[in-house]
Amino acid sequence: MTSVLEGQVAFVTGAARGQGRAHAVALAEHGADIIALDICTSIDTVPYQLATRDDLDETIRLVEATGRKIAAFEADVRDYQAVADVVNTGLQQFGQIDIVVANAGVYSFGPLDSVDIELQRWRDIIDINLTGVFHTIKASVPSMVARGKGGSVILVSSTAGIRGLRSMADYTASKHGVVGLMRTFTNELGPHGIRVNSVHPTGVRTHMITNEELVQWYADNPSMAANVSANLLPVDLIEPEDVSEAVLFLASDASRYVTGLEMKVDAGFTERL
Ligand SMILES: NC(=O)c1ccc[n+]([C@@H]2O[C@H](COP(=O)([O-])OP(=O)(O)OC[C@H]3O[C@@H](n4cnc5c(N)ncnc54)[C@H](O)[C@@H]3O)[C@@H](O)[C@H]2O)c1
């Protein structure tokens, strides 16, 4: 395995399972030490289980198996102070942050018309998927600016950050909001040599999509299936590692002059006519 990230430190949110775990392991395989957080508990308005402490422990095990170090914590990205505490503890341990992957996110489903989304669900999705990303940036980026060595900030959006998807105005708005953060911070951090890009996956084979509640919801509401099953390339769901390849590219010097990019890993989903 190449060590293109040797000596670097990556901060990854939502790292207990799914894409966040895959990113943490891939970054470690390429030489980075990892600061990780995950909520490790479920939320009432999210109809599937979020990660557990056991999941986070498995990420720790997998990262350590690469030979790199990891500092991993239970924290909720809705709680700014909790995120800042994780960053500060990680900085004490590793001394620096070079790469930020704002990946923690949730999805919800229920009413077919977005106007019927319950208010608490709206608040939770925006708080986690959008405000949580801002918290992640706010807690980590000042240390990168102060250090003066540049870096890479990678914000996980979605195809729902590029086009509208039915029945999920909250998720779609949150993921478009992430693009707004990306564009703003691209401008503000460019002079510091810090690149900011967003990643836009199509449906990825993680518990967010494969949970039985959502599978049943699509079975009950076949008209909604186009939200996730309309890739142009012949693939239903991509793998978390497919997204990690994009994260690795954006984290490494291979993309040293790439900033402000909405990088689609979407099997053509958003180009579908
Ligand atoms: N799976 C897909 O089809 C898909 C497609 C496009 C984008 N995404 C995005 O990719 C990212 C990762 O999702 P995934 O597919 O790995 O799903 P996942 O549910 O397996 O992973 C999300 C992780 O975030 C954690 N998390 C949730 N709320 C949190 C909070 N408040 N604070 C800290 N951690 C929290 C969860 O516990 C979980 O470990 C999300 O931002 C998601 O919106 C997913």
How far is the centre of ligand 1, averaged over its atoms, from the C-alpha of 156 (Å)? Answer: 9
Count of CB atoms situated within 10 Å of the CB of 84: 16
- pTM greater than 0.95: yes
| Active-site residue list | 171
60-98 confidence digits (pLDDT tens):
999 999 999 999 999 999 999 999 999 999 999 999 999
Characterize 97-134 residue by residue with b for buried, 16 or more Cβ atoms within 10 angstroms of its Cβ, and e for exposed.
bbbbbbbbbbbbbeeeebeebeeebbebbbbbbbbbbb
Report DSSP state, residue 238.
B
pLDDT higher than 70, residue 51 = yes
Ligand 1 atom 20 nearest Cα: 18
H-assigned helices in the chain = 18-29, 53-65, 80-94, 119-126, 132-147, 169-189, 207-210, 212-220, 240-251
Mutate to test the pocket of ligand 1, among 54, 154, 206 (most ligand atoms within 8 A of CB): 206
137-158 confidence digits (pLDDT tens):
999 999 999 999 999 999 999 9
Paired tokens of 15: 């790292």
How far is the centre of ligand 1, averaged over its atoms, from the C-alpha of 219 (Å)? Answer: 22
How far is the centre of ligand 1, averaged over its atoms, from the C-alpha of 238 (Å)? Answer: 15
CA distances to 77, 129, 245, 249 from 160, in Å: 20, 12, 20, 22
Paired tokens of 105: 């996110």
Domains, the chain = 9-259 (3.40.50.720)
